[in-house]
Amino acid sequence: MLKFLKISTALVLLGSPALAENFGLGRVALPEEIAAWDLDVRPDGTGLPAGSGDVLTGEEVFADKCAVCHGDFAEGVDNWPKLAGGADTLADEDPLKTVGSYWPYLSTTWDYVNRSMPFGDAQSLAPDEVYAIVAYILYSNDLVDEEFVLSDETFADFEMPNADGFILDNRLESEHALWVGEPCMENCKTDVSVTMRAMVLDVTPQEEASSTETEEVQVAATEDAPAKEAKVEEVAAIDPELIKAGEKVFKKCKACHQIGENAKNRSGPILTGIVGSAAGQVEGFKYSKPLMAMAEDGLVWDEASLQEFLAKPKAFMKGTKMSFAGLKKDADLAAITAYLGSFPKE
């Protein structure tokens, strides 16, 4: 019996769902439709598809599809989640909560990788790839050796180190029981002094004077009028419909790339002005070795080379750290290059 169950109107009807009145709305879900959407995996492995993957295969897939955010050793890049490490730190001043140190069920990792990863290309992994990635994450947490193979058959045998690290919500007993009743209204304490100030830390975002800013931008744009007109002509020569279509395709890129005004390098470089530029030129971005090698050999991103790259990134540039499967449709390739081309160099 779950502890949160109370006598309520909901419970009164819990035993008698047959009372329900039907509206005859909706239609029956087909088995193929349920199979396509019902992907969740339970702690006992219910819901897992048949398949298997080993640590070494996992290392390759991880380097290819996950390391750009999570690091080669699952240690995490920048502010992106660390998946490994942190064993026995949960009671420390700064606990490190990773798959290895915190997650109670292995099914959660499988389920999440399968359903929602890689970031920006979810549901693109084959079951064997997911098994391999999960095996590698266990390996990077020193929980298995490199011979380890994870499969639907061995899955339920694996117990996570922090499986017993959780209790059910006990606030009603440990807090509510203490914090009820008429509170103190007068002479509740003898002394009040400041023990901590937010100003000392100074981590609050500053409020910009946004109206003033807008004004300044407008002034700048007016002074810059001739340059702006030239840009407009350039864009006008290109098919606006195609650029619009390209903007949609660019959604696949947005998790890692920014373009246009105020664009910043993220896990991928700024793409403003990329069409017609030599490869590997964006300031402050750390490119992969294969890209720098091709750049030294004179690679220029024109429409043809960009389309070849974006159709099959891994084939065009073996070892690229761009974890993107590629665009299958020619129409998408034409659209994305048109869109990228609509952001000329500043």
Partner 1 sequence: MSKSNPSTSRRAFLKGAAASGAGLAAATAATANTPDPLITEVQPWASGLGDGVDVSPYGLPISFEDDVIRRNVEWLTADTISSINFTPIHALDGTITPQGCAFERHHSGAIELRKEDYRLMINGLVDRPLVFSYADLERFPRENHVYFCECAANTGMEWAGAQLNGAQFTHGMIHNMEYTGVPLRTLLEEAGLDAAGELKDKWIYVEGADASSNGRSIPMEKALDDVLIAFKANGEALRKEHGYPVRLVVPGWEGNMWVKWIRRIEVMDGPVESREETSKYTDVLENGIARKWTWEMDAKSVVTSPSPQAPITHGKGPLVITGLAWSGRGAITRVDVSKDGGMTWETARLAKPGEKMALTRFYLDTDWDGEEMFLQSRAIDETGYVQPTKTQLREVRGLNSIYHNNCIQTWWVRPNGEAENVEVS
Interaction between residue 220 and partner 1 (CB under 8 A): no
Kindly state whether residue 102 participates in binding partner 1, applying the rule CB under 8 A. Answer: yes
- Regarding 115 and contact with partner 1 (CB under 8 A), the answer is yes
User: What's the min distance (Å) between Cβ of 133 and partner 1?
Assistant: 14
Cβ-in-10-Å burial (0-12, 13-18, 19+) of 79 comes to exposed
Task: Decide whether 54 or 111 has the Cβ nearer to partner 1.
Answer: 111
Of the pair 40, 296, the CB lying nearest partner 1 is at 40
- Return d(Cα 148, Cα 56) in angstroms, integer: 9
3-state secondary structure of 3: coil
C-alpha torsion 56→57→63→67, nearest 10: -90
Q: Residue 154's closest CA among 168, 134, 178?
A: 134
Residue nearer to partner 1 on the CB measure, 9 or 226 = 9
Sites for partner 1 among residues 167-196 (CB under 8 A): 167-171, 174-176, 178-181, 183-196
Q: Per CB under 8 A, which of residues 9..28 are in contact with partner 1?
A: 9-11, 13-15, 17-23, 25-28
CB nearer to partner 1: give 124 or 281.
124
Kindly state the greatest CA–CA separation across the chain. 79
Q: Does position 244 bind partner 1 by CB under 8 A?
A: no
Q: Give dist(CA 157, CA 144) in Å, integer.
A: 13
Which residues of 230-280 form beta strands (DSSP E)? 277-278
Which part of the chain contacts partner 1 (CB under 8 A), choosing from 35-43, 53-61, 229-237, 297-305? 35-43
Residues in the chain: 346
Residue 54 · residue 149 · CB < 8 Å: yes
Among 32, 147, 157, 197, binds partner 1 (CB under 8 A): 197
Q: How many residues bind partner 1 (CB under 8 A)?
A: 101
Q: Are 266 and 287 in contact (CB under 8 A)?
A: no
DSSP class per residue in 57-95 = HHHHHHHHHTHHHH-TTS--STTSPP-S--TT-TTSSS-
By C-beta, is 1 or 227 nearer to partner 1? Answer: 1
Identify the residue among 32, 48, 72, 91 touching partner 1 (CB under 8 A).
91
Return the range that interacts with partner 1 (CB under 8 A); candidates 90-98, 272-280, 303-311, 335-343.
90-98
CB atoms near residue 216 (< 10 Å): 10
Q: Which is nearer to partner 1, 253 or 335 (CB)?
A: 253
Instruction: Out of 145, 147, 201, 237, point to the residue binding partner 1 (CB under 8 A).
Output: 201
Decide whether 116 or 281 has the Cβ nearer to partner 1.
Answer: 116
Residue 278: phi and psi, rounded to 5, are -70, 150
